[in-house]
Chain A
Amino acid sequence: MNEDVLISHDVVRHLAYLARLSVTDEEVAEYAVRLEAVVGYMARLKKVDVSDVPPTAHPACMTGVVRQDDVKQGTSRKAALREARHTDGKFYLVPKVFDS
């Protein structure tokens, strides 16, 4: 019932890179097997004739929601920084991105 889909270790590593997930070699091997099974199952959708069928991105038929741009007090800096592990009291801190 499922299609044969091949997910190589390289594909798993690339997906992990795109999704910003560290993976060990053992995990790569395990994920390859698991992902292959699930994607193989999902591939059954290719059998459905969808010509002239528009995609549904959302269940509710909605138009853009607009409102007046009224100025209100938002989240304070203190509250926004409260749950971060590294800050200098004003900003979030992360490792240096550019060498000076």
Chain B
Amino acid sequence: MDTAYEIQASFERGDASALEIVRVSLECISRLNDRYGAFVSIDEEGALTAAKRLDHARATGSHIGKLAGVPVAIKDNIATEAMPTTCGSRILREFQSTYDAHVVTRLVDEDAIVVGKTNMDEFAMGSSTENSAVCKTRNPWDKQHVPGGSSGGSAVAVACGMVPVALGSDTGGSIRQPASFCGVLGLKPTYGRVSRYGLVAYGSSLDQIGPFARDSRDLALLLSVIAGHDRRDSTSLRNARFDLAAKQEPDLSNVKVGIVDDLPAEGLDSCVQDAVSRMGGVVEQRGGKRVVVSLPHLSYAVAAYYIIAMAEASANLARFDGVHYGERYANPNNLQELYEQTRGTLLGDEVKRRIMLGTYVLSSGYYDAYYLQAQRVRTIIREEFASAFDVCDVVLMPTAPTPPYRLGEKNDDPLTMYLEDIYTVPANLIGACALSIPAGFTDDGLPIGAQLMAAPMNDGLLLNIADCVEQTTDYHKRKPFSSAGEDRESR
């Protein structure tokens, strides 16, 4: 499937009808979804109806939106009226929202066509999409490997060409890491830039919705549609708008790229390290300058992040009590049993662990030692990044310490999986924007991503650098399949 830009342009020119475009997307989904498990809901009827309406609008000379005819996929923790919003959980198995999330309304306002909802780790808690109660999602570059997570379904949908663009959510790397594992681009925008209205909350001071795409132009296009102030989200920034016209020249001669000299390298795969160094070279080739920065407390980021995320999760997930919505334990003897059995039997293991850990760090006697301490360390990390951004414009780091790993390989040990988030969680802790771009492949042909991180509100700079990189490298153009439907057999 073409890029969103190309699709919109060909629709606007009249070279393709919305119906034709949507049928190509739906056909691709029906051919590949059983194998890769990207989608958990597909709204064929709704998509075809929207396409017909759009074709009619064009025929009658009505205004055509920035995403006219573009099929999009939405992570299943973003509320949609037309389809269930399961969050990958049994407790919301048949939950149907009574309203659309702000981002969904924005996409539809610009004439995008929502084709379906994508698989995820339950309530976005995980880094491999293996924690979904709905189905298994596989990496299109090798079916025996994980797609990353928690927005694994959205990353796979874009990598497979089922849709040109998709939305995910990123609390500690859940857009960037699956983008890295699936060989596509993923952006976590600045905190407050995209309204969280209609996003099922996990860690409210960390959560942010963002786009997946196969090039930086599409990523910028999507951001320009979803970014903007929304009074229904009280953390929405006043100056949240992202204007495509403000895009800078593809010249990096004034850009300083920070290389972290004390980067925690425990568990960092050498092939990832090499790919990130090469990416630094590419930026330099385009005129950028490398400078050394120091982030001495980065090694504490994972501990601080998980304390804060779990504390916020334990409060946010209290709403799933079986009373107001979702599934409910059938025959409780009393109210306490209704709550405990509903939650105990319908929430998955990882979700229950995080709720209990969040309860622990907030409980009497431990609050100061864990939760308050984590918030103070968060301040230190924020100040260190602020100093780094005094001498550089962006920090270049790996997205994940390893290439995609095998299904089941890390599922037994939650702590090991948490440690993999070392390079992505800082952006969430400080509210910065960060982007994962394809940066190479392993000898086995699995994708590797590099991460660029910038101070809040510099999303445009990240997209500009990605644009320059794409003019020098072709990693983003490679596809997991040689041609439609001919995917590589797993080894």
Contact = CB atoms under 8 A, between A and B. Distances in A.
A7 to B, nearest CB: 8
A56 B377 CA distance: 8
A94 to B, nearest CB: 5
Interface stretch (B119-127, B229-237, B390-398, B469-477): B229-237
Interface string A10-23: 01100110111111
B378 A15 contact: no
B235 A62 contact: yes
Given A53-B379, A55-B375, A42 B343 contact: no
Contact of B373 (A48, A60, A92, A95): A48
What is the size category of the interface that chain A forms with chain B?
35 or more
Interface string B289-329: 00000000100100110110000001000100111111110
A19 B360 CA distance: 10
B224 to A, nearest CB: 21
Given A42-B303, A56-B382, A57-B375, A35 B353 contact: yes
Given A50-B373, A55-B379, A59-B191, A45 B343 contact: no
A60 B431 contact: yes
A82 B191 CA distance: 32
Interface string A80-100: 101111100000101111000
A57 B314 contact: no
A84 B429 contact: no
B370 interface: yes
A45 B356 contact: no
Interface in A34-78: 34-35, 37-39, 41-46, 48, 50, 53-60, 62, 65, 67, 75
Chain A residues touching B, majority SS: loop
| Most B CB within 10 A of own CB, among A38, A80, A83 | A38
Given A50-B373, A59-B429, A75-B98, A22 B343 contact: yes
Nearest to B317: A19
A95 B192 contact: no
SS of B interface (majority): helix
Given A16-B356, A44-B300, A55-B376, A60 B237 contact: yes
B375 A84 contact: no
Nearest to B358: A19
Contacts of B304: 45
A97 B96 CA distance: 29
A50 B235 CA distance: 27
A38 B357 contact: yes
Contacts of B234: 65
Nearest to A78: B98
A83 B324 contact: yes
Contacts of B352: 19, 21, 31
B360 A15 contact: yes
Contacts of A22: 337, 340-341, 343-345
Given A59-B429, A60-B431, A19 B377 contact: no
Minimum-distance CB pairs A-B, first 4: A59-B431, A22-B344, A55-B375, A83-B325
11 contacts: A18-B363, A19-B352, A44-B300, A44-B303, A55-B376, A57-B375, A84-B324, A84-B325, A85-B322, A85-B328, A95-B335
Interface of A: 7, 11-12, 15-16, 18-23, 31, 34-35, 37-39, 41-46, 48, 50, 53-60, 62, 65, 67, 75, 79-80, 82-86, 92, 94-97
Interface of B: 95-96, 98, 191-192, 205-206, 231, 234-235, 237, 297, 300, 303-304, 306-307, 314, 318, 321-328, 332-341, 343-345, 347, 352-353, 355-357, 359-361, 363, 369-370, 372-380, 382, 414-415, 418, 428-432, 456
Given A20-B339, A95-B338, 7 more contacts: A15-B356, A18-B359, A19-B314, A46-B373, A60-B192, A75-B98, A86-B323
